Structure 1
Amino acid sequence: MNAPNRFELFVLDDGEKPVEVSEDTKIPNAATFKIMKQDHTLGNMVRAYVLAMPQVLFAGYKVPHPLHPYFLLKIQTDGTVTPQVVLEQACTKLIGSLSTLEAKFKREFSFKDVEGAVTEDPYGTTGTSGQPWGSGRDYLDF
């Protein structure tokens, strides 16, 4: 099989840098970032946060090949800030948003624990008598 081992998709090798930056010589105020051991999940989120910044003229990402665990992110700014600064600010905002989402998620589940200790059947297979819908029936019988 051509697929690499699963751990090779997210664990950095010894001495491997997580981000490599290369300045674009043909386009002014542009740079390409190679983000190692990541995929579309992070690439799309970072691109969206970079595009939300007013100084950005262009931002796009691509995963060159699905078997290679990295993506390329190209950023072009209007010249008031560098692409590196824009990427740092976007990542900071993204981390803040994810922290807020995590806090809300944990808060909602803590409310569920406090509301009551009623054990619910997630499949809805138990009736009011505590028995399955009837003798000899399972949740696939409608």
Structure 2
Amino acid sequence: MNAPARYELFVLEDGEKPVEVTEDSKIPNAATIKIVKQDHTLGNMLRAQLLSMPQVRFAGYKVPHPLQPYFLVKVQTDGSITPQAAVEAACNKLIATVEVVAQKFKREFTYKDTAGEGAQANEDPYGGTGPAWAGRDYDYDL
């Protein structure tokens, strides 16, 4: 009813900026960054990556309203780098991490395809020598 159309949650409109930076005038080396058309998934990963950086003193995010497809990231650094540079470095590290996970995921599926040839249906998928349950239900020694 009040929810926007699905495509409005991830498609940028003409002239819409994906990132807006607002410097904080009250806190030194701090900024609020608005990231449009994203949600908690990216917000939480970005916050965690920022907090793992030694130059970052504070990092947090919030989604002001669930029907608005953006989140705000508040970042304060120690002054050795700007908040914008910290967010950019965190994004680059996240991209590299996601690429590694994607490669490992693809590699596991290629192993599954090659291991699946000639394998018996009742073999233990976790490397056991015999059938996974050997025809037993949960067998507990009491």
Instruction: Tell me the TM-score normalized by structure 2.
Output: 0.82
Corresponding position of 2:32: 32
Corresponding position of 1:68: 68
Q: Deviations over 1:74-109 (max 9, x none)?
A: 000011110011001100100000000000000000
- Percent sequence identity is 68
- Runs of at least 5 residues in structure 1 that lack an aligned partner in the other structure: 121-142
Residue 8 (structure 1) aligned with residue 8 (structure 2): yes
Superposed displacement of residue 67, structure 1: 0.1
Superposed displacement of residue 119, structure 1: 8.8
Tell me the secondary structure at the aligned position of residue 60 of structure 2: strand
Residue 109 (structure 1) aligned with residue 109 (structure 2): yes
Superposed displacement of residue 115, structure 1: 1.1
Across the aligned residues of Structure 1 and Structure 2, the Cα RMSD in angstroms comes to: 1.4
Aligned residues: 121
- Runs of at least 5 residues in structure 2 that lack an aligned partner in the other structure: 122-142
Which letter maps to 2:49?
Y
**1:1-142 equivalence runs, <5 A:** 1-117=1-117
**Separation (CA, whole Å) in 1 of partners of 2:116 and 2:61:** 46
Superposed displacement of residue 116, structure 1: 2.6
Tell me the secondary structure at the aligned position of residue 66 of structure 1: coil
**Separation (CA, whole Å) in 2 of partners of 1:16 and 1:104:** 35
Q: Deviations over 1:13-42 (max 9, x none)?
A: 011010000000010000000000000000
The list of structure 1 runs, each at least 4 consecutive aligned residues, that deviate by more than 6 angstroms after superposition, is none
Superposed displacement of residue 50, structure 1: 0.5
**Separation (CA, whole Å) in 2 of partners of 1:8 and 1:38:** 11
Which letter maps to 1:107?
R
Tell me the secondary structure at the aligned position of residue 38 of structure 2: coil
